[in-house]
């Protein structure tokens, strides 16, 4: 099993500054839960949570009901009131959404089918904190079918689909979440999941690390019974890594963010489509003939470049890493410094995970009508703050589209205020969410069933065999037929017929 | 530094059967150097050596001089006779070839320039065993410029360019190689490199492992002074791995075969071009509209598929690994079992590294005029042996092209008798050879200069930073301009401004 | 000048049935203007008009003002009341929209600049009937700048942007149009443009042929002074052709629909983008790995196939024309009959211009969740009517998205009820509208300035030289630099240095 | 039937200068058959003939037999001596080549099968003058099977395959051709085809116009019985056009050069492959990352650009025609003037049909190692003559590859001395030759069987229906299944179910 502990050799992953800042902020909050502290935390919550955010809009009209769910008395049809959602009566609509999602998540449905005989999660008590959407519901009900008991809160104060939460509550899941929670609500909901009489979790499924954080702070003793943590987000993984580094991680944790399938699909394949979608929905522009500079040629940048090239754009690439730079060359892109092309391009796209990649100086030199957007990890890639100066006029022309106007009349078109275009202005396909959810389910099964000693108090990548299993569960969607090794071939290659098929360092 | 020792966890790289067989064969040879033994070794030599074989043809007419070089008395213009080549008089022609190659290997030339001040290989005594071509000559002369003394033999009995060997001998390199060596010559040449009075190597540069093997067998004490081995080929790397596994590796070894730049360029980018070239030169076929099945969707398969799709072929893929299979789906290829399409395809291409991927049964079912070829690692992917039966007629229609004719008149077109199409029927671009040679040079520098204790008696991958350096040396070829991190950005990312820029598990 | 009169030889373009039906319907209407008659005309109006429809939504909130514009008294700031729009007070907002559009229509702006010296339309009195959008406004104001007087009505009862109409009225253009006209309003508006005391049009710019039709019926004498008709739509062009065929066309007409630039851009390049956009906005699906069948491999089909292939879909093509079929083969698509793949595909796209290409039988055999949509000319390609049967349930899941549910639970996803996906569910880029508008302007200039006898009472294609001029006006958008022939080269090729550069039969 | 008579309107095709020069030269020759005259004619012959040249190498070793075939007495096995070939004994080898070609020309074989009942060419006496290759032999024997009598000469003094000529002679075809004819031989052979006692041709199949020319000069009365000319080459078509223009064309002629299938396949699809093939075979270069400028974006340029883009090159385009220029933009290529990029590009490719597109000034400014080649119509696109100056050194480094060396050591790599790369350095796929040959056969059938009056003394394009038929005969090669219109659909579209399916101006 490959360990990601950064302890080996010179290229170990150092804790980057933004992570340290984040950690500091967090500690601030715990010391002084003032209004300001809360707000800064609120930002960090939403920032971390958007790592795996899916476009989420309430399906039904928001009722004008302004009563806080915490103040309501609600029961589901079986008489239970162990939940807190916006409106239990929306359950039926939510159920239909879940049913539609089930059709598009065949891998989880296949897991359910296999679970009819054995219950690999029998006895598992899972506390979860994720976005609450129809896809999450399919995951939760799959975990239930596999034998687990679940309690759930939202990892983001805006992303909950109330109808889906209602449907889950109606079918007996203790869900504590609604769209538009306050920060106090946010932590209250998490607490209601964890702090239950006569029920103690033995597994954690987290997205962003807030749930894990809460248990660390409030109920550290719970970890005695907890068999493991499964974490989904970049931010949450980094927090676990900090804990591990500091020697404070007291259970095994599984980093599902860096599994092959998730990385390649979330980044390369998904962004290949969402860059086009995000640009079209916001600007209705034509791609053909446009000059575009893509900053960063990692998986996300590769996806963006491939898509735009295919649509007839002329694409330039900037890179700091010479290996990725050489890949860009071989893939047919001119490798430039941003300064060289900034005056001529029609679109600037950042995909670096870095900060201040597009500076005010760059923005000053762009031509009129240049579109600027961000597909990278954080919202710091474009120095949007530098545009908040008196001489520039901001004009909101559509949702997620601002014109920033220079004194001489030049406009640049800023999308999503520099936040992630793919999350803000396009949707994440169910197929990608399915891969993620399946990976989460398998990680829970692995950690829950692993024999004593297989995992220590450290952060692990999903075993390659399970990554392969996730992939195999999604092949039927494409009517794809896998070839099996013959015994003779397996012997020749020195492989088990059922995998894993590649050494850990294999790059795909 | 990432170690490739396979010792961690379940997915460790087991010694595959073909490697064991190879090892056995080798031992056979050492016991009974009979004619038959020799022949089987000869095959294994050429098999292993073709790992990094480049198309090599003698530039000038073969003289009819049948005298063995071993029986000739030759001196270069400085009076030295410490070499053995076909004809020292061909030196001038060879020099011109080397000069042309220099123009296409700017990275090595850049290394030479940097070496004008410091000599990182001062004191190094390198014994080498590689193909002897103009590109190798540029490498050797670069090593010389960096301060090293070199002695060299050929790793393949056919691939030596006599003119280049002459030019090297003329300029003072003790080279022992000619085209068309016998097996006895082969080992004699190696021995002449190693077994010198008053000179003992302290570095080994090997391609295929034969040189290393020879020293192990004959001069094991030499390893006391040897600081490291740099190995280029898949086969040689496997042999080192065996030694390491068996606890017999007594110096550090650098596996340059699995460096990122080599892998991506040798496989993905190079095969993307050579599949088209190999098919055209042998068959003059048109790609547009053709149905093709590509067996295996690793880097080689990805390159082949991309190229053929771009040329208007309809491409099917077979895979055993569900992750690669899912990649094939997302890249737009129907994933099938070979049986499903074998009757309809116009071309079958193997890229698996496996054996008997195309069986006689498949061959029997192919349609008339179907083209069959291999782009994978070994020549076992197509079961060519099964075609050597009396009812089938073989007709050699061109160099490297056989028609195999069934009793009913059906013909299949077999290329290069199932050996590697890209090595047999197309050429390896100098650019790829340049990357490899630069990597070798840097690996030698690293091992030679590493402080005590950095490397143990094990097999190592090239440090990522050096991989990045190799890449950066090749960027000027493309007039590519790398961006540099600002101090602020480097701090934010927790990276050194000069790299390495990625964690070791990064997949590119 | 190439004539498109269909009079030569066997492949002349016969009047297709749907055109005859349309003509009949029209005559019906003129005989019996009953309610039913009106409604059927209404459909035909909108059908014909959607030929060049661009997504049009009112920018500002619809006021609740239910008063018909015809009943209102409005004056612009200069005191004129020679217009009829929804609300003259919306002019300022409309002006801003026009200004934004101006930035994206550089070719028209360039024409204005050239017109500062000469006024090629001085004396022209143009009556127009087109969609009234910001882009049209840029065209109208350009015609004005070139010297023309204009009066304008809408060619579609829904597509008028009230704010833009208001802005035009405010700046002195007699515009008669609002969103949501009744049919009576529709013809009233047209009549107000034409039937003016002391002003008689001498040029017609039509989109769909309704304006031309009205003048033929009501004011045939006007044609004595009319120098020509410029017609934009497929339908309008066919109506002109009928007139010509019947010997009733009494002025020259210019078919701008079939100009090269319009055809290639509206179809190939525009659909290459809009197929992706339309599918994403309606279904959020992922393209990678999906199996798609595209019916028809004309320009539209070519665009759809290229885009989906680039996004990783597996694309099958159906065709009736063997030449286009062979192109599909060479471009790498399996050419099939629809029946062969209908059970396995995820998406069915029609691009044929034909009717009943997808029949109920096909629909019955599609797999669950199959998406069906139309990118072709008319809304008859998918036999949607056949789905209006009692055993099937329709469920509207989003705007423009219906689930049609079979008794066994199978759902197909029908987009835009079989109408044009690109017009219904995506937007037409301004760049394409710019090409069309520029072509219209040049066609007007050509017809208005043509010397006596250059054009007879027939339907003409735009002279190739003007097509080339339209293209050249759009090159600066891409910072594209055209090469000029030297005198010597022009002589060698037998060409004028300023074009036309190709024989008429050139295919591009 | 579309006529290509250039008589309509402003864009008529003027006789270009090079054609006039050619005509003059020709007349010179006829007046003064001196040595010099002959040589200049010889050049013009080979220039015109290369229009449709296919790579032709003699399969067997050239015998050292220096006797001119004209001086030999040969008989085939049936005793006939009505032929003149190199060596009748090579017939068997040639027969095998013909049989192999038959397998790749299924369309002609299908025509033969259909001809078993009716003989559409019964009574036809065809005199032909084309390249004599295995593919031509399949065509000739097909014409024979369709009922025709044939006599044949070569249209090029170098391209005849002696073995194939022998096989044809053996099976009874009066063939007069060998590799390495003198000019006198060339005309003698043509004369032997035409000037026969008791046999007079009634159809001409020409490639380059030399045969037609000869009959005009020597036997003008023969045209009384000739029903038509089928001409294949650009040059020959132009010569026919001149005759028509001058009122001297006395029989109908069919221009098969401009048929859709030939144009798209010979140019777009074939060049898409041959540009890669030609560059690889000559230079072994890697395409990835290379900067390339392609001069001209017609069908050939489009093919070259698409291929190189797909292989990872960065491609710039130059154009004189704004429409093609805009296409280049929309396809994702930077449109530049050659001067802008000449210093930076690695490869220059001309595809214009123009002259002096690459001048000495450009060549002077190219960077070291720049590759220069021509894919266009004539060999004048690169001003190669300007490189024949004393200060430049030419070095032939391989067949078809010259290094031209500047005084400062800069080298440019000139391929095929500026002649057509695709004809000189790659091969024409049989598939393309099959399309051409089928088109020729159908054109002969059409002209021979056309009712009185269908064709006048003019130059015609192949009827679209026949173009479609040629395409349909090639679909089975790709296992492509054409859809048939229903009666209802045909009526709706106003089309005959069997085609033609498109108006004449359709661009494909």
Q: Least CA distance to D333: which residue of chain A?
A: A314
Question: In chain C, what residues touch D492 (CB-CB under 8 Å)?
Answer: 16-18, 354-355
Q: Which residue has 């006496």 as its token pair? A: D125
For residue range A455-506, what is the model confidence (pLDDT) as tens digits? 999 999 999 999 999 999 999 999 999 999 999 999 999 999 999 999 888 8
Q: Taking CB atoms and an 8 Å cutoff, what residues of chain C touch A105?
A: none
- The whole-number average pLDDT for the span B92-100 is 91
- pLDDT at residue B422 tops 90: no
| Segment C81-89 mean pLDDT | 97
Q: Residues of A294-324 as b/e, b for ≥16 C-beta within 10 angstroms?
A: bbbbbbbbbbbbbbbbbbbbbbbbbbbbbbb
d(Cα B441, Cα B142) in Å, to the nearest integer? 8
CA distance C250 to C5: 15
Give the three-state DSSP class for C356: coil
Q: Provide the pLDDT confidence category of residue D116 given band limits of 50, 70 and 90.
A: confident
**Separation CA A385–CA A404 (nearest Å):** 12
Quickly count: other Cβ atoms within 10 Å of residue D68's Cβ: 14
**Core vs surface per residue C469-494: b (16+ CB within 10 A) or e:** bbbbbbbebbbbbbbebeeebbbbbe
Q: ω into residue D500 within 30 of 0, thus cis?
A: yes
- Mean pLDDT in residue range A231-249: 92
User: Using a CB-CB distance cutoff of 8 angstroms, which residues of chain A are in contact with residue D326?
Assistant: 289
Residue B48 has a pLDDT of 35
Task: Give the per-residue pLDDT at D84.
Answer: 98
Mean pLDDT of C23-42: 35
Kindly state whether A439 is in contact with chain C, defined as any CB-CB distance less than 8 angstroms: no
Mean pLDDT across chain A: 87
Q: What is the CA radius of gyration of chain D?
A: 23
Q: Which of C56-70, C124-138, C430-444 has the lowest mean pLDDT?
A: C56-70
Task: Please give the radius of gyration of chain B, using alpha carbons only, rounded to the nearest integer.
Answer: 23
Digit-coded pLDDT (tens) for B98-129: 998 898 898 999 999 987 888 999 999 999 99
Mutate to test the interface with A, among D330, D336, D347 (most CBs of A within 10 A): D330
Give the residue-averaged pLDDT of C122-140: 96
Quote the pLDDT of residue B9: 31
What pLDDT digit, counting tens, does each position of A141-185 carry?
Answer: 999 999 999 999 999 998 899 999 999 999 999 999 999 999 999
The interface residues of chain B toward chain C in range 284-313, judged by CB-CB distance below 8 A, are 288-289, 309, 311-313
Q: Which subunits have 3 or more CB–CB pairs within 8 Å of chain B? A: A, C, D
Which residues in chain A have their CB less than 8 angstroms from residue D297's CB? none
Q: Alpha-carbon distance C386 to C377, whole Å?
A: 19
CB atoms within 10 A of CB A221: 9
- How far apart are alpha carbons B438 and A386 in whole angstroms? 44
Helix, strand or coil, per DSSP, at residue A450: coil
Q: Pick D63 or C10 by higher pLDDT.
A: D63
Among A492, A495, A498, the residue to mutate for chain B (most B Cβ within 10 A): A492
Q: How far apart are CA A165 and CA A93, in angstroms?
A: 11
Closest partner CB to B272 (pick from D285, D311, D426): D311
Taking only residues 143 to 182 of chain C, the set having a beta carbon closer than 8 angstroms to any beta carbon of chain D reads none
What pLDDT score does C475 carry?
96
Partner residue opposite A273 with nearest CB, options C287, C426, C477? C287
Share of chain D above pLDDT 90, in %: 75
pLDDT at res. C30: 37
Interface of D with C in 453-482 (CB under 8 A): 461, 463-465, 467-469, 471-472, 474-475, 478, 480-482
pLDDT grade for D377, boundaries at 50, 70 and 90: confident
pLDDT for the residue numbered D44 = 32
Confidence (pLDDT) at C493: 92
> What percent of chain A is modeled with pLDDT above 70?
87
Taking the C-alpha atoms of residue B356 and residue B345, their distance in angstroms, rounded to an integer, is 18
Q: Which of residues 10-69 of A touch B (CB under 8 A)?
A: 10-11, 13-19
How far is A392 from chain D, CA to nearest CA, in Å?
33
Q: Min CA distance, B369 vs chain A (Å)?
A: 25
**Which pLDDT score, from 0 to 100, does residue A28 have?**
36
pLDDT, tens digit, for every residue of D450-491? 999 999 999 999 999 999 999 999 999 999 999 999 999 999
Give percent above pLDDT 90 in chain C: 75
Confidence at residue B16, expressed as pLDDT on a 0 to 100 scale:
56
A434 lies within 8 A of chain C by CB: no
Check D2 against C8: CB less than 8 A apart.
Answer: yes
Of C289, C312, C331, which is closest to B312 when you measure between CB atoms?
C331
The per-residue pLDDT for C37 is 31
Alpha helices, DSSP H, located in C219-337: 234-245, 260-263, 270-283, 299-310, 322-330
Confidence of residue A18 (pLDDT cuts 50, 70, 90): low
**pLDDT tens digits, one per residue of D421-452:** 988 888 788 888 999 999 999 999 999 999 99
CB D171 within 8 A of CB D226: no
Site of tokens 């054009």: C455
Partner residue facing B309 (CB), from C313, C329, C332: C332
Lowest mean pLDDT segment, chosen from B309-318, D59-68, D339-348, D375-384: D59-68
B314: chain C residues, CB-CB within 8 Å: 332-334
| C-beta atoms of A312 and D289 within 8 A | no
- Is the pLDDT higher at C27 or at B290? B290
CB neighbours of residue D142 within 10 Å: 24
Q: What is the mean pLDDT of chain B?
A: 87
How much is the average pLDDT of A312-335?
A: 98
Residues in chain D with CB shorter than 8 Å from the CB of C14 are 494-495
Which residues from B are below 8 Å from C313, CB to CB?
Answer: 332
User: What percentage of residues in chain C have a pLDDT greater than 70?
Assistant: 87
Q: What is the mean pLDDT of residues A229-247?
A: 92
Q: Which site among A280, A290, A412, A474 would you substitute to test the C interface, given the most C Cβ atoms closer than 10 Å to its Cβ? A: A280
Give the pLDDT mean for B399-423.
Answer: 94
pLDDT for position B43: 30
- Give the distance from residue B7's alpha carbon to the nearest chain D alpha carbon, in angstroms: 38
Cβ–Cβ below 8 Å for A289 and C430: no
Cα-based torsion angle of the residue sequence C377, C383, C385, C388 in order, rounded to the nearest 10 degrees: -130
Report the gap between the CA of A258 and the closest CA in chain B (Å): 9
Neighbours of C, requiring at least 3 CB pairs below 8 Å, are: A, B, D
For B113, list phi and psi in degrees, rounded to 5. -60, -45
Residue-wise DSSP of A335-379: E--HHHHTTT-SEEEE-SS-SSSB-HHHHHHSPTTEEEEE-SSST
Give the pLDDT score at A135: 94
Find, among A445, A504, A496, the residue nearest to A473 by Cα. A445
The model's pLDDT over B62-72, given as tens digits with 9 standing for 90+, comes to 455 678 999 99
Measured between CB atoms, does D330 come within 8 Å of chain A? yes
Q: What is the pTM of this model?
A: 0.90
Quickly state the pLDDT bin for D262 (edges 50, 70, 90): confident
Nearest CA in chain D to B100: D369
pLDDT at position B64: 54
CA pair distance B110, B393, nearest whole angstrom: 54
pLDDT, position B18: 53
What pLDDT is attached to residue B264? Answer: 87
Query: Which 3 state secondary structure label does DSSP give D292?
Result: strand
Please give the pLDDT value at position C64: 55
Interface check D281 vs B, CB under 8 A: yes
pLDDT band at B231 (very low <50, low <70, confident <90, very high): very high
* 3 state SS of C172: coil
Q: What is the pLDDT of residues B133-188, one digit of tens each?
A: 999 999 999 999 999 999 999 999 988 999 999 999 999 999 999 999 999 999 99
Q: Is A494 left (phi over 0), alpha (psi -120 to 50) or beta?
A: left
Which of A382-396, A437-451, C1-15, D280-294 has the weakest average pLDDT? C1-15
What is the band of C483 on the pLDDT scale with cuts at 50, 70, 90?
Answer: very high
Q: Give the gap in angstroms from C-alpha B452 to the nearest C-alpha of chain D.
A: 40
pLDDT tens profile C420-431: 998 888 878 888
Q: Give the residue with greater pLDDT, B227 vs A37.
A: B227
- Write out pLDDT tens, residues A274-292: 999 999 999 989 999 999 9
Count of CB pairs separated by less than 8 Å, C with D? 241
């Amino acid at each position: 099993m490959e360990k990601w502990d950064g302890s080996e050799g010179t290229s170990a992953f150092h804790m980057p500054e933004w992570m340290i800042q984040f950690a500091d902020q967090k500690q601030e909050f715990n010391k002084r839960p003032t209004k300001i502290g809360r707000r800064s935390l609120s930002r960090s919550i939403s920032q971390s949570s958007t790592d795996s955010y899916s476009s989420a809009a309430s399906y039904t009209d928001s009722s004008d009901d302004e009563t806080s769910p915490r103040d309501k008395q609600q029961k589901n049809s079986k008489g239970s009131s162990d939940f807190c959602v916006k409106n239990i009566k929306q359950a039926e609509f939510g159920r239909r959404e879940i049913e539609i999602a089930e059709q598009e998540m065949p891998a989880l449905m296949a897991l359910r089918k296999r679970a009819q005989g054995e219950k690999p999660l029998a006895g598992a008590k899972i506390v979860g904190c994720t976005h609450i959407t129809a896809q999450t519901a399919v995951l939760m009900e799959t975990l239930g079918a596999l034998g687990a008991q679940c309690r759930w809160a939202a990892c983001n104060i805006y992303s909950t689909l109330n109808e889906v939460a209602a449907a889950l509550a109606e079918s007996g899941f203790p869900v504590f979440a609604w769209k538009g929670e306050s920060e106090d609500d946010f932590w209250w909901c998490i607490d209601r999941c964890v702090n239950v009489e006569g029920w103690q979790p033995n597994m954690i499924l987290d997205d962003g690390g807030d749930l894990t954080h809460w248990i660390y702070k409030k109920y550290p003793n719970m970890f005695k019974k907890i068999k493991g943590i499964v974490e989904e987000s970049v931010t949450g993984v980094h927090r676990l890594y900090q804990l591990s580094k500091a020697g404070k991680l007291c259970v095994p944790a599984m980093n599902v963010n860096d599994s092959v399938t998730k990385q390649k699909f979330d980044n390369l394949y998904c962004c290949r489509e969402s860059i086009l979608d995000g640009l079209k929905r916001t600007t209705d522009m034509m791609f053909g003939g446009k000059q575009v500079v893509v900053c960063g040629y990692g998986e996300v940048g590769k996806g963006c470049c491939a898509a735009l090239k295919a649509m007839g754009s002329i694409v330039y690439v900037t890179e700091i890493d010479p290996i990725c730079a050489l890949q860009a060359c071989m893939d047919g892109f001119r490798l430039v410094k941003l300064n060289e092309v900034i005056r001529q391009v029609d679109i600037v796209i950042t995909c670096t995970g870095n900060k201040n990649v597009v500076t005010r100086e760059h923005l000053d030199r762009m031509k009129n009508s240049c579109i600027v957007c961000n597909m990278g990890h954080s919202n710091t890639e474009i120095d949007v703050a530098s545009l908040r100066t008196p001489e520039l006029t901001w004009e909101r022309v559509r949702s997620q589209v601002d014109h920033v106007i220079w004194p001489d009349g030049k406009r640049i078109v800023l999308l999503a205020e520099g936040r992630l275009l793919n999350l803000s202005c396009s949707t994440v396909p169910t197929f990608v969410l399915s891969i993620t959810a399946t990976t989460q389910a398998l990680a829970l099964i692995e950690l829950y069933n692993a024999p004593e000693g297989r995992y220590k108090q450290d952060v692990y990548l999903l075993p390659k065999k399970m990554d392969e299993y996730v992939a195999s569960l999604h092949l039927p969607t494409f009517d794809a037929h896998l070839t099996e090794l013959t015994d003779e071939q397996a012997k020749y290659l020195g492989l088990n017929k059922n995998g894993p098929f590649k050494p850990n360092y294999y790059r795909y």
